[in-house]
Structure 1
Amino acid sequence: MELYQGNLYWPSTVEETPSFPALTSSIHCDVLIIGGGMSGTIMARVLADYDIKTVLIEKNQIGTGSTSVNTGLLQFSNDAMLIDLIDRFGKEKAVYFYKLCLKAIDELDKYSTYLSEPTDFRRADSLYYASNEHDLKKLKNEYDALIQHGFHADYLDKHAISNLYSFEAPGGIYTKAEAEVNPYKFSLQLAKDSNQLGVDIYENTEILSHRFSKDELCFETEKGDIQAKKVIYATGYATQEFAKTKGALLERTYTIATKPIDQFIGWHNRSLIWETARPYHYLRTTSDNRIIIGGLDEKLTNDDDLMCKGEQLLSKLNTLFPHISPSIEFEWSAVFGSTKDGLPFIGEHPKYENVYFMLGYGGNGTVYSMLGAEMLKDLILYGFHPAMDITRLGR
């Protein structure tokens, strides 16, 4: 599956990438992580702090899959509103899951301070606005639920939004617990530091076949076998069928990054911005003063008119911020995974013991990956995590 097309922004921000060898002989390990993107490298860094012999393999190079097209918005609110999760799971589980997302951002912040080189991690405010009057009632209900359950948020009416931003909206929820990051830099540095802490990493190493038994898992590569006690698949959308993720949907999303901007007129605190419409637009700024805007999600087809989609995104940007007048420098499309209930798939395979998956589907994939790494660490070490029923495969 071709994961993306176009001219990518994040790889242009890194002059020299770390490299890792290919596997050339057979090895043993306690935990094998398959996939060297954001999910796999976060998982590797979490396990690096424990006495677990861990190996990570990537069939291409670290961070060159979906991570290189990730827009790097880190939010505790996600595609599934808290009120929707309460309807589905009840208050206790829904609020707990949202608290886990909030904690995951703090964990990402913590790991960013450990890394040997900066990754443009920045704490950021976030505006979630009603795209139309019809959505306003539900947005207000969401705000009430957040406040009731201890989340810090402010409600902005249409006058407050127009005073803070150069666009109008019926209302919005403003939060201050989010963040943004350069996902490509972050994943590369996680891999580099994990390797220095004892995780063996192999690039250009593809799994050709596997054999599962009760006591051991065996994986064949071109130049050697890997025998592991446990395996974590962090390969994103490529594992959808094997993982039995019946509620997963694959779509295509489009993104542009502008040339650097002198002033962000009408953009309060350079906050993250997204909306209630589905599909929705999402916006952020970068450390080198660009604007990233994405959206226009649609079904996967062979008709991928990047130039047309890029101009549509630029038009939306001009509508929101008419005093900025940006121009496009990078534009790309990418396969985007979502789920019917807005939640990730994290947990053990329903059929195969010791086979785990960390699939951070949705617009909150990086936060889900951090959450998932903590969950799988607990499942591996202790056999239990309180959220395992919420994110289980086959649900």
Structure 2
Amino acid sequence: MDLHSGLPYWIIKNPLFDYYNPLKKDLETDIVIIGSGITGALMAHELCRTELECCVVDKRSIATGSSAASTALLQYEIDVPLCRMAEQIGEKNAVTAYRSCLQSISDIEAVLKETDIDADFERLPSIFYASDEKGVKLIEREYEIRKRYELPVELLNKGELHKRYKMRTYAGALLNRQSAQLDAYKAATQLFRYHIKKDHLQIFTYTKISSCEETPQGCRLKTKDDRTIRCKYVIVAAGFEAGQFLPEKVMKLTSTYALISHPIDNKDLWPEHSLIWETAEPYIYVRTSGNRIIIGGEDEDFNNPEARDELLREKTEKLEKKFHTLLPSVPFKAEMIWCGTFSTTKDGLPFIGTWPGTERIFFDLGYGGNGITFSMIGAQIISNLLQGKEDERKDVFGFGRIC
């Protein structure tokens, strides 16, 4: 399936990583990572820094799947609000999930500093605004539980939103100052470049894995070209395409839409260039990239690329209209538009770890709007487990909650 269509901004903004290295002979190694997006890149980084031998395989060019279409907002807030998540999985586990996401933003920043990679990482506030009366009640409940657990949050009324951020909303919003944004494609490709040079990391592109089998001695993978890879462990970091390696379906496929504006004068942007998203479902979200504005959302619950693409013009018009209603003083004219397919889960959480009853095939599946922060968490958990270290987060994000 085509993971995206249209013109994703990131592969126009950045030079493509012209890396071509299909696997041409059988291979033996310790750990195989399937997937070369931002999830695979963070996973490879964690393994390389702990000196665990690994390689990466991908059926495409590096980072040209969902990572190329990601709008890359980094928030501790998860698609399912904390107050609702607490009802689904218990307050303790829900708070652990939120605190883990908060920490992962700093951890991603640390990875980029440690490797001296400029991936346009930028710390910014985030505004979660009420779209309707239902949203008003939600942010009141959400504010209460976040304050109780000392998570970063401020409550703003409608007037404050308009005065401070030029926003015209139904009511108030929650503000936190611990969010960020980056360029996911740039981060992934530069992390791989770093470890190819420093650790001689092997990456095999245009190498499609057709089967993956766990054995008492390790794992055996077969490629579409009938090459065999033998290893001790496999880590599947292939997003929704990981479905072929799972015993049953655990995610829902969702199509999402995004557009980026022409460059505008910086004085016309809203103050602080905050990330913005709403309480309505499906929600829209807004960020900047330099002096351009990115709008995303208008998600649809289908995975047919043709049906997804047919709605591109209609969704563009809806997103532009919503933006002009929200920020009427800010000029916006779309220059590039694209759409992509992503995965979501009922509780808004990723799936990290092994399937019950297996020991050697790990999954690092950062499903939902927090895919990149989840990817950082997944890389840490799996790296710890491979080193024989306990990680209390594994049960919160593991398959045990559905099996």
TM-score range relative to shorter protein: over 0.9
How far did 1:246 drift?
4.1
Deviation at 1:53, TM superposition (A): 0.8
Unaligned runs of 5+ in 1: none
TM-superposition CA deviations, 1:40-69 (whole Å, max 9, x none): 111001111112111111111111000000
2-structure distance, mates of 1:245, 1:282: 31
Please state how far the C-alpha of 1:16 moved relative to its aligned partner. Answer: 5.0
Given candidates 217, 238, 254, the residue that maps to 1:215 is 217
Distance in 1 between residues matched to 2:261 and 2:314, nearest whole Å? 15
Q: Which has the higher mean CA deviation after the structures are superposed, 210-219 or 70-79?
A: 210-219
Contact 1:116 1:193 in 2 (8 A): no
Determine if contact 1:116/1:189 at 8 Å carries over to the other structure: no
Q: 1:12 to 1:115 in 2, by over 3 A?
A: farther
Q: Equivalent residue of 1:68, what SS?
A: helix
How far does residue 266 in structure 1 lie from its aligned partner after superposition?
A: 6.3
* Aligned CA distance change for structure 1 residues 392 and 264 (closer, same or farther; 3 Å): farther
Deviation at 1:17, TM superposition (A): 2.2
Identify the residue that residue 370 of structure 2 maps to in structure 1. Answer: 364
Matched, 1:182 2:188: no
Report the secondary structure of 1:240's partner residue. helix
When structure 1 is superposed on structure 2, of 74-83 and 191-200 the one drifting more is 191-200
**CA-CA distance at 1:259 after TM superposition:** 0.8
CA separation in 1, counterparts of 2:159 and 2:247?
47
SS for the counterpart of 1:103 is helix
CA distance in 1, matches of 2:60, 2:75: 29
Higher helix fraction: Structure 1 or Structure 2? 2
Structure 2 residue runs of 5 or longer lacking an equivalent are none
Map 1:47-58 to 2 at 5 A. 47-58=47-58
2:242 corresponds to 1:239? yes
SS in 2 for 1:150: coil
Equivalent AA in structure 2 for residue 5 of structure 1: S
Select 1:293's aligned residue among 271, 292, 295. Answer: 295
Counterpart Cα distance in 2 of 1:153 and 1:329:
34
Aligned-residue CA RMSD (Å): 1.7
Structure 1 partner of 2:328: 322
Query: Cα distance 1:176–1:18, how it changes in 2: closer, same or farther (>3 A)?
Result: farther
TM-score by length of 1: 0.95
**Cα distance in 2, alignment partners of residues 16 and 306 from structure 1:** 25
Aligned pair 1:337/2:348, yes or no?
no
> Quick one: percent identity of the two aligned structures?
33
Task: Note the alpha carbon deviations across 1:119-157, whole angstroms, 9 max, x for none.
Answer: 111011100111112221221111121111121211101
The one-letter amino acid of 1:60's match is: R
Cα distance in 2, alignment partners of residues 277 and 240 from structure 1 = 29
- 2:73 and 2:180 in contact (8 A); partners too: yes
Provide the C-alpha distance between the structure 2 equivalents of 1:102 and 1:245, rounded to a whole number of angstroms: 30
**Cα deviation, residue 82, structure 1:** 1.4
| AA in 2 matched with 1:334 | G
Match of 2:26 in 1: 26
What is the DSSP-based 3-state SS (H/G/I as helix, E as strand, rest coil) of the residue aligned with 1:332? strand
The separation in 1 between residues aligned to 2:331 and 2:98, in whole angstroms, is 37
Partner letter of residue 159 of structure 1? Answer: G
1:311 to 317, 329, 347: 317
* Equivalent position amino acid for 1:371 in 2: I
Residue 137 (1) aligns with residue 140 (2) = no
Q: Provide the aligned length of Structure 1 versus Structure 2.
A: 394
Report if aligned partners of 2:45, 2:191 keep a CA contact under 8 Å in 1.
yes
Work out whether 1:284 is the aligned partner of 2:287.
yes
- In 1: Cα distance, 2:58 partner to 2:206 partner: 6
Within 2, Cα distance between the matches of 1:127 and 1:264? Answer: 20
Q: 2:271 aligns with which of 268, 272, 288?
A: 268
SS of the residue corresponding to residue 145 of structure 2 reads helix
The answer (yes or no) to whether the contact 2:258–2:297 under 8 Å persists in 1 is yes
SS at match of 1:293: strand
- 1:309-358 CA distances to partner (integer Å, 9 max, x unpaired)? 11221111211222222211110111121111111111102243211111
Assess if the C-alpha contact under 8 Å between 1:39 and 1:370 holds in 2: yes
Matched position secondary structure for 2:55: strand
Q: Does 1:71 align with 2:71?
A: yes
- Normalised by the size of structure 2, how large is the TM-score? 0.93
Cα distance in 1 for partners of 2:365, 2:216 equals: 24
Work out whether 1:59 is the aligned partner of 2:38.
no
Contact 1:164 1:266 in 2 (8 A): no
- For residue 375 of structure 1, report the CA deviation from its aligned partner: 0.9
